[in-house]
Amino acid sequence: MIQVFVKEFNSFLNSLIAYIVIGAFLTGIGLLTWVFPETSVLDYGFADLDTLFSMAPYVFIFLIPAITMKSFAEEKKMGTLELLLTKPLSDWSVVLGKFLATWALVFLALVPTVIYYFSVYKLGNPVGNVDSAGVMGSYIGLALLAMIFSAFGLFASSLTSNQIVSFILAAFLCFLIYMGFDSLSSFGGNAALFIKQLGIIYHYESLSKGLVDSRDVIYFLSVTGFILLTTKVVISSRQW
């Protein structure tokens, strides 16, 4: 697993992918948080980072599928998947190695935004008047959300050898689980809360209040685990 992780992560760094992902994410989020008047923290006048945490998931919906779209699709097309899977690597270690590499890259893009926190911290009046627990919780939420998106991206990539199909499918799945369930819940009647809880927003918002509830963490972990299992099954399905 380590070998696959290192190889995948290096291939992000050696190609332009890593720099484009980090650059695009930071530019987009930076503009939204500090420059554009509708969403700028400076114009808003309150020392919080809501803009960052409410916009980042939407950026991830497009960014993460773009990172993962080639992971299995390209290997299938080039035939290198056969090479990889006839080496002494279990199917799990291939899936997990690729998953962790994707997640690590997203993490790397997220790390520089810690500067935003310090900026807001200094801008507060009095200095340091920021809901630090909320920010911390939001970061955890965002990292967990990226985890689910990465898993969905890999899953979509494992289904096809066409990268465009993989991208669109992954973006759709991420959108569905992030917003879809939340929006659908209004039709839900008695089951509304249950439907709401299937989606990410419910748990993400709960984390962003600064309270790390084990139920929310378990939700993120179990959804990720399930999607990764499905991906592994798809990869192993050649054996049927």
Least distance in Å: CB of 113 to other proteins?
29
Q: Is 19 in the site for other proteins (CB under 8 A)?
A: no
| Contact criterion met (CB below 8 Å) for 29 and 56 | yes
| Dihedral sign (CA 132, 31, 176, 144) | negative
Reference 147, options 50, 226, 233, 51; nearest CA is 226
> Within 10 A of 112 (CB to CB), how many other CB atoms are there?
13
Are 4 and 98 within 8 A, CB to CB?
A: yes
Stretch that binds other proteins, among 35-43, 81-89, 145-153, 157-165 (CB under 8 A): 81-89
Judged by CB under 8 A, does residue 111 bind other proteins? Answer: no
Would you say how long the chain is, in residues? 240
Q: Where are the alpha helices (DSSP H) in 15-131?
A: 17-30, 41-44, 50-68, 73-78, 80-85, 91-110, 114-123
Min dist CB 137 to other proteins, Å, is 38
Is residue 122 within the footprint of other proteins (CB under 8 A)? Answer: no
- Measured from the CB atom, the residue of 10 and 222 that comes closer to other proteins is 10
Nearer to other proteins, 6 or 192 (CB): 6
Of the candidate residues 24, 59, 89, 233, the single one contacting other proteins (CB under 8 A) = 89
Quick check: 11 binds other proteins (CB under 8 A)?
yes
Residue 90 touching other proteins (CB under 8 A)? yes
By the rule CB under 8 A, 237 interacts with other proteins: no
Give dist(CA 68, CA 8) in Å, integer.
11
> Would you say 74 or 205 has its CB closer to other proteins?
74
Q: List contacts with other proteins (CB under 8 A).
A: 3, 6-7, 10-11, 14-15, 78-80, 82-83, 85-90, 238-240
